[in-house]
Structure 1
């Protein structure tokens, strides 16, 4: 993994002037000095993390202050004082670092979009290397990522980051062996809804430490009713697709109905001419009215009162 600033500076040359590039280089020098000797859980030099976060910021076309803050965002943990940071890099960069440190999922979101970007890029790189953390920490960070970071990414319009965070988090959550039963039951859902519910359930199952069996049974009981609700809009579309060509003209339904009506009239006439006559006077007009209503519902015909108006 890259441990020098050269490639990042090369990527920024087209957008940043000499002064901004010097500031980014200075931020790297301070970060490299204070992270010297520190290692990540992966065994990589710690400086690789702020460089990766800054590279993500550069990819997102962030300004120089944000790129510098990305390089400096973990410096306070090394004992680097915020007042010194303010003196060396100015109020804007120091403010971004301080605000990013203060962001808490339980508190109101900061107004500065750049602070949220810093938190997202920091979490994204940490999730990309999460396999080096203890299993329990992987689970907690994954739940935290799904609960806060993914919605924030979508709120900022960063769908690719939201999707990657979501995928990385789900890979680390263990819903347990019983989840296979729920996965099989979800096959009765429409494909578009199936993946969404499986993602939600995998998180819920991972959060359940006790009585997981009861939770599975409760979920399975709700599957049939959910399937009916989820398929209802699809069924309406399917019915409309089938009925539209069948009722394209008023005459088409009669091509299907006429033989049956003639046969029924004949059978009634064999036993009672009066019944056959009453059948002819009532059933075909009622069917004609029904056909017109269906055509109006399908948008194939307008109501007569609206046409006359």
Structure 2
């Protein structure tokens, strides 16, 4: 009998050890001094062709929930590839509603993309620099501090449709969509938040809404006749409202960079901090970026380091172009 008890205790200890090892590897972040540990997950919107190995390589301490929107047989997928990243985000919130980690980063799949708030549009330093205690205290935080694109007023909704430029399709469609997404709420006169649908949110903040809300938002995406671009952008400019921020949510960029990314030496004027986020020439970066520049030139490590370092200056001219450029 004693031997049996010893064996059972040994198996129990092994089970605890395995569970601890699993959670340490997949869920827990290194302990912040005096702050304990927090589980954290990247929720990644992707297609079958996308390569997300960079996340495993550079941020191995994070758990990764990669959704493949165009593969119905994928381990994590969506009901329909529609509405851009919004379909993935809402599906994750529905799928894991009863089992969220402490902190979630909802993000696109590419390491280099102009959405990333970085001098070289590189997601690795953006994600490595996240100040997790601050993010947890805020419960919802946009992953862009720069005001360029989205702030301080992406949409002015008190205008008559006839006076709105026909190319501003999201602004035209937003009032009706808002009524359907947020029944009973008053349409705000202005909506402003920094683009581009990448944000951090805590479990507690998501759970403030019942899962039925997220199901309703997803059903709206599935049912709407609006095209993917417009329906996705409507959610892009609604996440902050869903998570309790005012319709215009444009934090001071200098304070934002300091508290969100620990970058407290930037000089900022009128929503911009020098060339920390340079306005891109095009919406697609050149093949081979950042080693290959906008004009096909090959750039050395020294040049790249200089571009990244010089971007903290308040006034600087670089090869990146100006806000008068048109994203195509």
Specify which structure has the higher proportion of strand: 2
TM-score normalised by structure 2 residue count? 0.19
| Larger RCO, structures 1/2 (Cα 8 Å, 6+ apart) | 2
TM-score (norm 1): 0.20
